[in-house]
A and B are shown apart, each in its own frame.
Chain A
Amino acid sequence: MNQAETHQGPHVASVKLLLVVWVALIFGTWLTVSVTYFDFGAFNIIIGLGIATAKAVLVALYYMHLRWDKPFNAFIFISAFAFLSLMIGLMLMDTSQNQPDMIPGFGAVVESGAAPEMP
């Protein structure tokens, strides 16, 4: 770690930093697995995604050097996720509205055939 990193020169991560991030990532993995033994209802997935995202941010910031990189590189990386969520969001909005009645006459057939039939 010398002066060069403050300006144009590339940043060199210290071994200590790499190891601290590693410990945090391992801890995150342990945490994700352990929370699955508790039930938080609808929050299960939110907690899980939250921890996973925290891990992802750690990797991106420190292992991928985004913290010291040009902000534009971070911008394009984030924009990938933005466009992805756009895609998922709009597709989900459509498919979750699928109803048997969307095609007239179709719902009735499904209804009649969908009577519970437990083995």
Chain B
Amino acid sequence: MPVEWLNPYHLQVGSFLLINVLLGVSIYITLSTGQLSLGNAGFMCIGAYTAALLSTKCGLPIPAGIALGAVLAGSAGVLVGLPSLRLSGVYLAIATLGFGEVIRAVAVNWETLTGGAVGVAAVPQMGRVLLANLADAGFAPGDAGLRPNQFIALSVFLILLAVTALVIAFFLRLDRTRVGRAYAAIRLDEKAAEAMGIPVTYYKVLAFSQGAMVSGLAGALFAHSTSYISPEDFTYHRAVEILVYAVFGGSGHLLGSVFGAAALTLLPEALRFVSDYRHMLYGLLLVLMMIYRPQGVIDPPLLRRLHRARAEEAP
């Protein structure tokens, strides 16, 4: 007896939401040291292509490909970050924007490896592979009361949920460690942080490559959730979309970007007419947020207020 209310489409929206949340986290990490990166779409591209190519061309198991994709994107982050972090804000933004465009140009032009503008098709989809493996072990989705497509969508969603929860938990913890405090100090005043003995360049590169790694992870998971990727998925617009998550949700706290990514993924789903004007809305949001609430919807004072309110409710 299948569970009728479990709609694969909703689960798919949920999966994309989780990937966007990861992207939101990725830009938050770099922003938490006061650096604006517009290259996260490029890092995502590296992660996605690495994972997709390793599984389609080398037959590597999916988890290994995803891990390698994230690691490679993170290493690219070190390579890009090390020199460009000597640059201050605006220059870094443009240099990383340029990096993203170069990566995309490589993806379009290196046809023998990347399939050019057509992209990589038939990337093994996590849910389907899991289902096939379980079927070999004698499991049928019907046993759990699910139709196959429900099972596939549900397993992808749950895998992404677990990964996203882990990543968020990790970076929430990081905020309270020496590393997180160093990030905050650098964001507030780089020179003061340096005077206090914080190795600024080290922490900036660390934050930058952590962000790149999370972008790469998101890209790799994206490739194995959709089973088709092309350079079109990783354009400048993607980078701007990621930026909007952090700017709208709030760049002062990790949960701000998470909220931003979730809200802006659900908005076009909830309001159909919005989806046609989605990018125009994003543009308008960026301008309005910068004028009226540059710190984003969720900022640390708001979180503290919410926290206090909850504490008062349950003494």
A pairs with B: no
